[in-house]
Amino acid sequence: MRILLTAAPLAAGALVAAAVPAASSFVRGPSTADGLLPSFFVQAASPGPDSGGSPSAGDAGRPDGSGSGRNAAAVGGGIGGGHEHSEAEGEEGHLKMTAEQIANQDIEVAKAGGGTLSRHILVPGTITPDADRIARVPARVVGTVAEMRKRLGDAVKKGEVVAVLDSREVADAKSEYLTASVKAELEKTNFDRQQALWDKRISAESAFLNAKAVYSEAALRQDLARQKLSALGLNAAEVAKLAKQDETTPNTSTLRQYELRSPLTGRIVERKVDVGTSVGKEGDPADLYTVADLSTVWIELSVSTADLPKVREGAAVAVKLTEDGAERRELGKVIFVSPLLNADTRSARVVVSLPNKDMAWRPGTYVTAEIEIAQDTVPVRVPKAALQTMEGKRVVFVRTDEGFEKRPVELGRSDDDAFEVVSGLKPGEDIAVANTFLLKAELGKSEAEHGH
C-alpha cells in the first residue's frame, strides 16, 4: 500500500508537466493580446528565463510595457495593395506611397504656379452665315437663262462663270459700242489726214476744224458706249475681242450672251431659277444663286442689360454644342456689341465670329456661348481637381520624398476650372492634380485606424 501511494503523485506530476506546453500555446493566441485570460494563466504560460523563447504578440499585456499593444502587420491593404502605414502617418497628415503606387493609381503630379483666372457668362445663341462672306448672283440685265453651270452645294471661286443669260439688252449695248468704235476709228483717220494737210497749208482751215469736231463727237460716243458696258459689268476690250472671234465663226455669236460670275469664293447654298427662266424685269427673280463662304460663321447672341456692361468687343468666347452625347467646342471672339436695345426684350445684339474650317458649325443651329468678362492674374493657381475637403478645410496633397502630405490652404478668387491659393502653398511645389479623392480616402482610413 505504501508503494502505491508514492507512485500516484509521480504520475500526476507527469500529467501536469505534459499539459504546460499546450497551455503556453493557447495563451499565445489572439485572446491573450486582448487580455481575456486570467493573469495566473499568462504567468504560467510565459516562458521562463531559461526557456529560450522569444516575445510574441501575446506580450501586449506585459507589465514592463515592452509590448507594442498592436500587431502592425495586421494593418494591411492601402492604395496599390502594398501600402503600409507608419505610426505617425495618419496623425500627421502624411501618406506613404511609392512612385510605382502613384503611377498605378493615375495620380497626376504637377507644379503649382501662377496663372490667369477667367470669368464668364453663359448666353444662348444661334449660328448664322457671316454677313461679310455671303453674296448673291444677281440678274443685272433683262434676259432669259441660257445656262446654269453650278448645282446646289458646288464649290465656286471668285470670278468663275456660274450662269449665262441670253439678253437683247446686252446685244444692243455691245452693238452700240462696236459701232461707236468703228465710227471713232474712221473719224480719227480722217482727222489725222486733215491735220497733215493743214500743217502743209494744202487744205483749208475749215476742213481741218470740221474733221476735228466730227472725230471728237465720235470719240465721245465711243466713250459713252464703253461706260454703258461697264455699267452692265462687261469689259469693252473683251467685247471687242469676242467680236473678232465671231467674224471667224459666223455660226456662233456671243453678241447676246451675258456671263454671270461669282462675287466670292465659297459654295452654292441656294439656286433660285432654272434654264429658260426670264429674269431682270419687274416681277422676275432678281437673283440666280446665293454663294456663301462658311469658313467663318457668326453667332448671334442676345445679352441682357444686366450683363451687357461686362461684354467687350474683342472678348474671347467659347462656343459649345452637344450632339448625340458628344460636346463640340470652338473659340471665337466678340466683333460687335450693339449700342441699341431691343424694345421688347430689353437686350442687345452681340455678334461673335467663329472659325468653321471643317464646316461642322451649321447656320440655324442653337449653341451656348461662354463670354469672357474678366481676367485676373494670380501668383498661385490650382485646378479644382487638386482640391479636397477634409474636416471642413480645403486641402491639397503636396508631393514628398515618401509620398504625400495633406496641406490646408486658403482660397481666393476662382473661375470655372481653378482657384487662387492665397496661403498654404508656394509656387513651384509639386501637388497632386488628378484622382486626389483616392488620397483623401486613404488618408481618412489611416487617420481613423490610428484614432482607435
Query: Residue 122 falls within a domain, yes or no?
Result: no
Check which CATH number belongs to the domain holding 95 and give it: 2.40.420.20
Query: Residue 93 falls within a domain, yes or no?
Result: yes
Query: Residue 31 falls within a domain, yes or no?
Result: yes
Query: Residue 297 falls within a domain, yes or no?
Result: no
In the chain, how many domains are there? 3
Q: Kindly give the parts of the chain with pLDDT less than 50.
A: 1-91, 452
In whole angstroms, what is the distance from residue 295 CA to residue 434 CA? 37
| pLDDT at res. 35 | 38
Query: Residue 135 falls within a domain, yes or no?
Result: no
Q: Are residues 386 and 421 part of one domain? A: yes
Q: Are residues 54 and 103 part of one domain? A: no
| pLDDT at res. 442 | 84
| pLDDT at res. 376 | 83
Query: Residue 274 falls within a domain, yes or no?
Result: no
User: Domain boundary at 255, 272, 300, which?
Assistant: 255
Give the residue numbers spanning the domain of 408: 89-116+377-450
Cα→Cα distances 400→2, 93, 404, Å: 81, 12, 5
Query: Residue 81 falls within a domain, yes or no?
Result: no
Q: Which residue has the cell 422676275?
A: 284
In whole angstroms, what is the distance from residue 132 CA to residue 134 CA? 6
In whole angstroms, what is the distance from residue 60 CA to residue 57 CA? 6
User: Domain boundary at 255, 272, 287, which?
Assistant: 255
| pLDDT at res. 234 | 85
CA angle 341, 343, 347 (to 5 degrees): 45
Q: Are residues 417 and 387 part of one domain? A: yes
Q: Are residues 13 and 37 part of one domain? A: yes
Query: Residue 151 falls within a domain, yes or no?
Result: no
Query: Helix crossing, 236-248 with 168-199: angle to 10°?
Result: 100
Query: First vs last Cα of the chain: how many Å apart?
Result: 63
**pTM for the predicted model, two decimal places:** 0.56
- Counting every residue written for the chain, the total comes to 452
The pLDDT tens digits of the residues spanning 129-167 come to 999 999 999 988 999 999 999 999 999 999 999 999 999
| pLDDT at res. 450 | 63
User: Domain boundary at 221, 255, 289, which?
Assistant: 255
